[in-house]
Chains A and B, each alone.
Chain A
Amino acid sequence: MGSNFEYEVKLRSGLSIFPSQDQAIDQLLSELVEKATGRFVLLADVTGQFINAKGETRKTDLIALGSLAAGDLAASTEIARLSGEYQEDQMIVREGSKYYTIIYEVGTHLLLLLQVSIEVPLGWVRILVKQYASKLKQILLSPPEKAEGILGDFLKGETEAFVDQMLDDLWGEG
């Protein structure tokens, strides 16, 4: 395998986001937050791994938010299942004093979290969230791309030495 070989891969487990998908996701999230006049929108995978966010995100710990939203959705889904109310594409609506926070299951892999002012009609926001979730699902259904050489070094590398060195560098006395 050369350094600029073309490598096509689709992960057997987990999620692989290709550059064109990443760009399309970026654009859709910007559109959604704008149309909904939202404070911010966050996309994560259902295991809690942060993918992208748009809007006023500077003061928010997005990594923690992604993991908590996934935990919230997983718990709500389980509550629905145990109480016989389960359906696909679960939606959680949290009403605060200033904002609605909506968490929505996007297919089997992703979740959307959108925060909007309580002055925005909730019905409108729900329609938008469902519309954009559907578009996001389509993006993920697109076939894998040929990504040039991105994984080449990683696939060939002796990772253990790198991991040990990095941890040694970052590990302090506490």
Chain B
Amino acid sequence: MLLNWRSRELQLKVVYYGPALSGKTTNLKQIYSRIDPAHRSEMVSLQTKDDRTLYFDFLQLELGKICGLKPLVQLYTVPGQSYYEVTRRLVLRGVDGIVFIADSEPSKVNENYQTWQEMFVFLKDMDLPADEIGIVVQYNKRDIPNAVAIPEMKRLLGDSKYPSFEAIAVQGVGVYETFRAILNLTVQRVQKILQN
């Protein structure tokens, strides 16, 4: 979070986090394609030759005014493969809100769990209390025939205290709802921090 009192800009950082190929970049691409171009930056992607995220994807949105402040929301993704652990930690620096993208593929159950646990370890390492960060969970790829049932996914992640949404990000389904939820949660958390 960065607050510039003169320009009344409030910069917020939201990170889309999750296992490899769960749909983090897809969510950002959907947001990019649906937000009025006058209110967003170009999307920056640091990718490998085969279009996998190497470092991060980045997009900034200007949302107008909320109660006298101009929020600028910076959206990041992390690379999902397990060997990019260090990079994921770097991208989380200074995060204000996190969307955890869980993959509904049965073969991804363990990876979802490991990445979820890893995220909280990183937050703790960086002295970022999870309770002060907005966290929303998206269960993506709900259209695959053998998708893991939602109650089972919730049980595995133990995420009952976080808002969650079902999605088929590649079709844009659930992307808006997830984004709106994390934005509201993040703004409310910042409001609470500033009130204190």
Contacts and interface: CB of A to CB of B under 8 A. Distances in A.
Interface of A: 9, 11-19, 22-23, 45-51, 61, 63-64, 67-68, 71, 74-75, 78, 145, 147, 150-157, 159-160, 162-164, 166-167, 169-174
Nearest to A13: B1
Contacts of A13: 1, 94, 128, 132, 193
B3 A153 contact: no
A48 B59 CA distance: 11
A137 B35 CA distance: 37
Given A75-B90, A150-B68, A170-B36, A45 B2 contact: yes
Given A71-B56, A172-B36, A151 B194 contact: yes
B120 interface: no
Q: Give the top 10 A-B pairs by smallest Cβ distance, nearest first.
A: A47-B94, A157-B67, A14-B1, A153-B68, A174-B33, A153-B67, A19-B6, A154-B67, A74-B90, A174-B34
Interface residues on B, range: 35 or more
A16 B128 CA distance: 17
Given A17-B2, A159-B187, 18 more contacts: A11-B3, A11-B193, A13-B94, A14-B2, A19-B6, A22-B7, A49-B94, A74-B93, A75-B90, A78-B90, A150-B5, A151-B69, A154-B66, A154-B191, A157-B68, A163-B63, A167-B179, A172-B34
Contacts of B128: 13
B27 interface: no
Greatest chain A CB density within 10 A among B4, B58, B95 is at: B4
Nearest to A79: B86
Given A150-B8, A154-B66, A47 B13 contact: yes
B26 interface: no
Contacts of A11: 1, 3, 193-194
A75 B68 CA distance: 36
Contacts of A156: 67
Given A64-B58, A174-B33, A167 B183 contact: yes
B188 interface: yes
Given A154-B69, A159-B66, A67 B191 contact: no
B91 to A, nearest CB: 8
B107 interface: no
Contacts of B61: 170
Contacts of B55: 71, 75
A37 to B, nearest CB: 28
Contacts of A61: 41-42
B60 interface: yes
A173 B7 CA distance: 32
A17 B11 CA distance: 11
Interface string B49-71: 00000011010110111111100
B194 A9 contact: yes
